[in-house]
């Protein structure tokens, strides 16, 4: 049996343990929800205050030039590029994930329509993040395409001659299972299909190499693993072979070739700037930049490769401890055991009927854990055969092995004591 | 002749003079660019720090519910509603002006396509803000419509039976001239044409009454007169008669009827929430809310009606002083003298050839003024018959009559001394 002592030893030997000092973590909290909203880096508050009081307050309009506000999407983008196997000048931080998906999917549809006009399908996973499906559905409706939703094991067979685009989320938000980006992209390209990857749960969570995978388009989120703060700008990457053909209808002035000539006709800027649209939230952008700086600092410790080793050790330990110490409470595992198929999160399941009033009890267990300071989250298990999800994200930047021990110990106590059955934990309200 | 003493008397008698105390203005600056980026309210820095260190840092994911992050677009929207003649629950603060225009123009095109499918034109002004034209152009291209650009005096005659939508900016960004929203909307409706109004230069600048005008759709900007900070969320309003038919393709999860059920199919939320798309920049949103609170405080002083009286007095004084004290330097006026046609800015012109190397000199004069601490901005005078623009915004919340005197005195000195001819003022770089 794994012991607390052993977990403490793992922390003592952890070469990344000092990275935790770059964050402010609230006392009494074990935060396993960095996959939903990352934590606050120590440098952020002072930098945000500087943007507000100095750059805005004193610099005012002059700061667009003097404080580099105009270049901030590219500056943050270049840092993100390092985390996803892209080159400098290929990524911009901007807008939201949904809106960036609309841009790249629009552009991909335009390219597909020109190159293979008879292909009229977009293929995605039924369990993809819903907002991705909503955006794809809307575009299909507008352009006369059909969105075909398949199960993960049906993807390979679905890459037929009528498919224009394969749109996938690299790491599934609910199960934490990960696609092999290079293999899937290769299969898509062999069938002349363009690929659009959502990296919301992979940028900063797992090593990503868009260039090696020869992916076509990618977008992702700034406020999850990248610790950019609530509503941080998202990002967009396009394979440079598509850049000059990239056209999207959110044709705002920030994407114009000469924005300050204020010409009445739109000419997309050369390169990465054409992915931009309107004026960006500069305060949130500065916070995102601070979140990314922690990753830049982590390069001295081995970067994403080292973070991945620790991430897998953390999720292995969590799975092991749950399987050792939480037996007999109907807890299942939705996350793959194979490392190559696992993101940086673990999703436990409970079957419908295992909780109160026919529920799975997963919601109540998560609420009871949150009350104890162990913050994970609950997700409806739609598509998972009558199961619901308890989701735990492990961010190796600030989560340690002893944290994992205590999280599982709290889970064990919640289950043994049946404290999750308390009425206050069974009242649903808006949850994230 | 108007004297400095007289200006000081006007300040002493100004019932709104104490509102200036709600802002932090950098010393030595007369800021006449609030129409481009508003100034920093005193309350903002502390509120932003609270969002970062407490709501994000301590509350973490819990703050989506406990700190009201989810409702923040509606909360700010309800404050904006009071400034534009809308009702509570009709406005949301979200995304950027360009993206919101894409949403409302998409929705308007859908409604027009259903109600009057033979109408295939969108009419706008050639001198409309370019990003509005880019967005309209992109949508026209996608939907098989044509964007017809006309001069202001051609609008009435252009409302023909082939027009689906009239899209106008209420106050022109370059000339400061203002449309009569009620009259223009009435004329459009008489011809069965929907109206889309951009309020970027009117919300917080002039009284707006969308409800009385029976307008159809409106969008606007949070970082200009509303003092929401760089890149503050923009806003969107829809006449409630269109709400339930409002469909736009940026169909993200924040606009879903039940966002936390994570269903794979999109169902737009009832009411205002359907104008939302993805996760909003919460830090910038909090700053916007502080900017709006100053307007809420201004209600005790008479609100927009009182601000309008002062705004017109400021712009009248500026025009009067320029005409008295800057004679003989080729300075013209692009802003209408008639109050009913004037926004809260004054645009002076210079003819091409009046500056160095064939230029108008307008850029250099603005640079020389900025060096003296009088911050206005320069705009290319495209469409203005060989003239360029020097643009000065007057925000009655924090600009006083003595400020106007000194601004004109600096302008006079720059012209008399010819200091604008210095090389450093004639080197163009990115300007806002």
Cβ neighbours, 10 Å, residue B152: 15
What pLDDT, on a 0 to 100 scale, did the predictor assign at position B386? 83
- Do the Cβ atoms of A61 and B223 come within 8 Å? no
Phi, psi of A136 (to 5 degrees): -65, -40
What pLDDT, on a 0 to 100 scale, did the predictor assign at position B404? 98
Could you tell me the two tokens for A263?
């010409």
- Do the Cβ atoms of B60 and A97 come within 8 Å? no
What pLDDT, on a 0 to 100 scale, did the predictor assign at position B265? 86
- Do the Cβ atoms of B97 and A279 come within 8 Å? yes
SS3 A395: coil
Chain A residues close to B96, C-beta within 8 Å: 95, 252, 277-280
Nearest C-alpha in B relative to A138: B249
Q: Which residues pair with A253 in a beta bridge?
A: none
Q: Give the residue among B297, B283, B382 at the shortest CA–CA distance from B67.
A: B283
Cβ neighbours, 10 Å, residue B180: 13
Which residues make Cβ contacts (< 8 Å) with residue A417, sequence separation at least 6? none
SS3 B201: coil
- Do the Cβ atoms of B262 and A382 come within 8 Å? yes
What pLDDT, on a 0 to 100 scale, did the predictor assign at position B430? 44
Q: Which residues pair with A219 in a beta bridge?
A: A198, A236
Chain A residues close to B102, C-beta within 8 Å: 249-250
Domain B46-299, CATH class in plain words: alpha beta
| Contact yes or no for B84/B91 (Cβ under 8 A) | yes
Q: Name the one residue in this structure whose structure tokens are 């006392």.
A: A27
- For residue B52, what is the DSSP state? I
Could you tell me the two tokens for A117?
């006009």
What pLDDT, on a 0 to 100 scale, did the predictor assign at position B384? 65
SS3 A22: helix
Fold for domain B4-31+303-425? 3.90.1150
Going from the C-alpha of A257 to that of each of A272, A278, B361, B375, B379, the distances in angstroms are 11, 14, 24, 26, 17
A42 touches chain B (CB under 8 A): no
| Contact yes or no for B194/B118 (Cβ under 8 A) | no
Could you tell me the two tokens for B255?
């606009």
Average pLDDT for runs of 10 along chain A of length 432: 96 97 97 97 98 98 95 98 98 98 97 97 95 95 95 97 98 95 98 98 98 98 98 98 94 89 86 94 98 98 98 98 96 96 97 92 97 94 80 98 98 98 83 44
User: Residue A135: which H helix or E strand, with range?
Assistant: helix A130-143
- As a whole number of angstroms, the distance between CA A373 and CA A306 comes to 28
Told to judge if A47 belongs to the known catalytic residues of this protein, a careful annotator would answer no
Which residues make Cβ contacts (< 8 Å) with residue B60, sequence separation at least 6? A26, A29, A31, A33, A37, A39, A375
- For residue B94, what is the DSSP state? E
CA atoms within a 13 Å half-sphere pointing along the CA-CB vector of B74? 13
- As a whole number of angstroms, the distance between CA A349 and CA A199 comes to 24
Residues 163-192 of B with CB under 8 A from A: 174
- As a whole number of angstroms, the distance between CA A325 and CA B288 comes to 49
Question: How do residues B227-280 score in pLDDT, each as one tens digit?
Answer: 999 999 999 999 999 999 999 999 998 999 988 777 878 899 998 999 999 999
Sign of the alpha-carbon torsion through A282, A304, A396, A234: positive
What pLDDT, on a 0 to 100 scale, did the predictor assign at position A380? 84
Q: Give the residue among A35, A361, A9 at the shortest CA–CA distance from A176.
A: A35
| Contact yes or no for B330/B366 (Cβ under 8 A) | no
Q: Give the residue among B68, B330, B104 at the shortest CA–CA distance from B236.
A: B104
Residues 230-249 of B with CB under 8 A from A: 230-234, 249
Could you tell me the two tokens for B238?
């829809």
Told to judge if B241 belongs to the known catalytic residues of this protein, a careful annotator would answer no
- For residue A338, what is the DSSP state? S
Q: Which residues pair with A33 in a beta bridge?
A: none
| Contact yes or no for B380/B347 (Cβ under 8 A) | no
| Contact yes or no for A208/A84 (Cβ under 8 A) | yes
Q: Is B401 exposed, middle or buried (0-12, 13-18, 19+ CB in 10 A)?
A: buried
* Backbone φ/ψ region at B125: left (φ over 0), alpha (ψ -120 to 50), beta: beta
Instruction: Write down the domain spans for chain A.
Output: 4-31+303-418, 46-299
Spot the catalytic one: B23, B31, B129, B425: B129
Q: Give the residue among B156, B278, B359, B206 at the shortest CA–CA distance from A134.
A: B278
SS3 A113: helix
Could you tell me the two tokens for B151?
């001069």
DSSP B103-166: HHHHHHHHHHHHH-TT--EEEEETTS-HHHHHHHHHHHHHHT-EEEEE-GGGTGGG--TTEEEE
**Helix (H), strand (E), coil (C) string for B59-82:** CHHHHHHHCCHHHHHHHHHHHHHH
Going from the C-alpha of A41 to that of each of A21, A207, A287, the distances in angstroms are 9, 21, 9
- As a whole number of angstroms, the distance between CA A135 and CA A323 comes to 39
B266 touches chain A (CB under 8 A): yes
Q: Give the residue among B90, B344, B391 at the shortest CA–CA distance from B200.
A: B344
CA angle B29, B30, B32 (to 5 degrees): 130
As a whole-number percent, the residues of chain B with pLDDT over 70 amount to: 98
User: Where in B249-372 does DSSP place strands (E)?
Assistant: 332-333, 345-351
State the nearest Cα–Cα gap between A1 and chain B, in angstroms: 33
Told to judge if B224 belongs to the known catalytic residues of this protein, a careful annotator would answer yes
- Do the Cβ atoms of A98 and B277 come within 8 Å? yes
The radius of gyration computed from the CA coordinates of chain B, to the nearest angstrom, equals 22
Told to judge if B246 belongs to the known catalytic residues of this protein, a careful annotator would answer no
- Do the Cβ atoms of A24 and B432 come within 8 Å? no
State the nearest Cα–Cα gap between A107 and chain B, in angstroms: 12
- As a whole number of angstroms, the distance between CA B267 and CA B273 comes to 11
| Contact yes or no for B108/B196 (Cβ under 8 A) | yes
B62 touches chain A (CB under 8 A): yes
- As a whole number of angstroms, the distance between CA B273 and CA A336 comes to 37
- Do the Cβ atoms of A262 and B70 come within 8 Å? no
**Residue length of chain A:** 432
- As a whole number of angstroms, the distance between CA B243 and CA B270 comes to 8
Nearest C-alpha in A relative to B57: A40
Domain A4-31+303-418, CATH class in plain words: alpha beta
What pLDDT, on a 0 to 100 scale, did the predictor assign at position B262? 77
Q: Give the residue among B83, B155, B99 at the shortest CA–CA distance from B124.
A: B155
User: Where in A254-359 does DSSP place strands (E)?
Assistant: 332-333, 345-351
Q: Give the residue among A376, A314, A290 at the shortest CA–CA distance from A29.
A: A376
| Contact yes or no for B368/B377 (Cβ under 8 A) | no
- For residue A57, what is the DSSP state? I
pLDDT less than 70: residues of chain B: 382-384, 429-432
- For residue B38, what is the DSSP state? P
- Do the Cβ atoms of A29 and B99 come within 8 Å? no
């Amino acid at each position: 049996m794994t012991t607390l002592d052993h977990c403490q030893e793992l922390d003592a030997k952890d070469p990344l343990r000092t990275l935790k000092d770059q964050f402010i973590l609230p006392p009494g909290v074990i935060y396993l929800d960095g996959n939903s909203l990352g934590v606050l880096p120590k440098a952020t508050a002072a930098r945000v205050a500087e943007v507000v009081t100095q750059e805005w307050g004193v610099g005012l309009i002059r700061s667009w030039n003097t404080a580099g506000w105009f270049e901030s999407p590219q500056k943050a983008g270049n840092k993100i590029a390092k985390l996803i196997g892209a080159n400098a000048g290929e990524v911009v931080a901007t807008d939201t994930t949904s809106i960036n998906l609309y841009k790249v999917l629009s552009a991909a549809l335009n390219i597909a329509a020109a190159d293979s006009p008879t292909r009229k399908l977009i293929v995605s996973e039924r369990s993809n993040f819903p907002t991705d499906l909503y955006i794809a559905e809307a575009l299909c409706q507008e352009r006369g395409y059909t969105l075909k939703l398949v199960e993960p094991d049906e993807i390979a067979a679905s890459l037929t001659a009528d498919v224009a685009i394969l749109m996938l989320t690299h790491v599934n938000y609910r199960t934490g299972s990960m696609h092999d980006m290079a293999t899937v992209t290769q299969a898509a390209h062999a069938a002349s299909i363009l690929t659009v990857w959502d990296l919301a749960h992979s940028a900063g969570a797992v090593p990503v190499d868009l260039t090696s995978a020869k992916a076509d388009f990618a977008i992702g989120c700034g406020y999850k693993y990248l610790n950019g703060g609530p509503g941080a700008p998202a990002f967009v990457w396009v394979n440079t072979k598509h850049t000059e053909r990239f056209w999207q209808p959110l044709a705002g002035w920030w994407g114009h070739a000469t924005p300050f000539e204020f010409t009445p006709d739109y000419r997309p800027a050369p390169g990465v700037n054409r992915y931009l649209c309107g004026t960006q939230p500069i305060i949130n952008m500065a916070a995102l930049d601070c979140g990314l700086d922690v990753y830049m600092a982590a390069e001295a410790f081995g970067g994403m490769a080292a973070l991945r080793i620790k991430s897998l050790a953390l999720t292995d330990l969590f799975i092991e401890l749950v399987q050792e110490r939480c037996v007999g409470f109907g807890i299942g595992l939705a996350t793959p055991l194979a490392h190559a198929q696992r993101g940086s999160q673990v999703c436990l399941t409970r079957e419908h009927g295992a909780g109160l009033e026919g529920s799975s009890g997963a919601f109540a267990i998560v609420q009871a854990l949150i009350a104890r300071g162990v913050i994970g989250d609950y997700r409806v298990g739609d598509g998972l055969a009558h199961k619901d999800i308890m989701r735990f994200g492990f961010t190796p930047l600030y989560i340690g092995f002893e944290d994992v021990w205590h999280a599982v110990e709290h889970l064990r106590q919640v289950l043994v004591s049946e404290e999750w059955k308390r009425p206050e934990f069974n009242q649903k309200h808006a949850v994230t």
